[in-house]
Amino acid sequence: MKILRDYSLENYNTFGFPVKAKQFVEVNTEADLKEVLQQVYASEIFLLGGGSNILLTKDLDSTVLFLNLKGKEVTKTSNNEVHVAAAAGENWHEFVNWCLSQGFGGIENLSLIPGNVGTAPIQNIGAYGVELKDVFVSCEALHIQTLKKETFYKKDCQFGYRNSVFKNHLKGQYIITSVKFALTKNNHKLHTGYGAIQNELEVQNIQNPSIQDVAKAVVSIREQKLPNPKEIGNSGSFFKNPIVDKAAFDLLSSKNPAIPFYKITENSYKIPAGWLIDQCGLKGYREGDAGVHKKQALVLVNYGNASGKDILSLSRNIQTQVYKRFEIELEPEVNIIA
Residues taking part in catalysis: 162, 237, 333
First to last CA, the chain: 29
Do the beta carbons of residue 8 and residue 27 sit within 8 Å?
no
Cα–Cα distances in angstroms (integers) from residue 137 to residues 72, 121, 134, 166, 191, in the given order: 15, 11, 9, 16, 20
Q: What is the CA radius of gyration of the chain?
A: 20
Sign (positive/negative) of CA torsion 147, 148, 149, 154?
negative
> Count of CB atoms within 10 A of residue 210's CB?
15
Among residues 52, 55, 50, the alpha carbon closest in space to that of 116 is found at 50
Q: Is 13 exposed, middle or buried (0-12, 13-18, 19+ CB in 10 A)?
A: buried
Which region, left, alpha or beta, applies to residue 162 given φ > 0 means left and ψ of -120 to 50 means alpha? left
DSSP H or E run through 265: strand 262-265
81: DSSP letter: E
